[in-house]
């Protein structure tokens, strides 16, 4: 069993924020693969389904980004899921827009959601890093991530949120490098290769 966690902030006023790209990704996985309806569990919203041969739980913490680890830890303990079977989908300032990278473990790069998961669950979970690009100066980071995607971002965002569920079974089956490669190919095919490679 895998646990796919989308990171974001709950509530309508945050729904279109760049910081909520993790929510957007797991929402699309649930929709495309006809997962069970979302229900309130583990201080968040949870949905269950299958990707390929793997049973997958989707979780969107309702605790706000800074405290995401509490919800993740509760779900892990209840289902006895190992930290190495947890995948956190999150926004990444150090990647260009439309770019995706997958890695296990590593640093949290100042991301409060990742820091919380590490504090509650350990560090050896997978990061599915969804590139936003950096606004240029650290004082601009919070306004950047807590504002909605710009109109010009929507085409690549939709392409990425289509490519992720289309290839999510590879990730669930442990084929992380193939998943990453397929996403890059899909983005290139959609005309976002330059962003995806920068």
Pairing of strands 54-61, 44-51: antiparallel
3-state secondary structure of 165: helix
DSSP string, 173-198: TT-HHHHHHHHHHHHHHTT-HHHHH-
Largest CA distance in the chain: 45
CB 47 within 8 A of CB 75: no
Angle at 117 between CA 112 and CA 121, to 5 degrees: 155
3-state secondary structure of 5: strand
Q: Side by side, which strands form the sheet with 44-51?
A: 39-41, 44-51, 54-61, 2-6, 86-92, 126-131, 100-104
Known catalytic residues are 19
């Amino acid at each position: 069993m895998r646990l796919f966690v989308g990171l974001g902030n709950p509530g309508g006023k945050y729904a279109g924020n760049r910081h909520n790209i993790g929510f957007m990704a797991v929402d699309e996985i649930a929709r495309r693969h006809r997962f069970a309806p979302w229900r309130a569990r583990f201080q968040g919203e949870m949905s269950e389904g299958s990707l390929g041969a793997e049973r997958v739980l989707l979780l969107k913490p309702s605790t706000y980004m800074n405290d995401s680890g509490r919800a993740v830890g509760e779900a892990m303990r209840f289902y006895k899921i190992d930290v190495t079977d947890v995948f956190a989908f999150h926004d990444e300032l150090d990647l260009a827009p439309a770019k995706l990278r997958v890695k296990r473990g590593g640093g949290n790069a100042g991301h409060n959601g990742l820091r919380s998961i590490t504090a509650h669950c350990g560090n050896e979970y997978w990061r599915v890093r969804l590139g936003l690009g950096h606004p240029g100066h650290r004082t601009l980071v919070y306004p950047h991530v807590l504002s909605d995607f710009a109109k010009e971002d929507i085409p690549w965002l939709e392409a990425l949120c289509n490519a992720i569920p289309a290839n999510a079974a590879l990730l669930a089956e442990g084929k992380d490098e193939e998943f990453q490669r397929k996403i890059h190919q899909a983005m290139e095919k959609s005309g976002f290769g330059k962003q995806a490679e920068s």
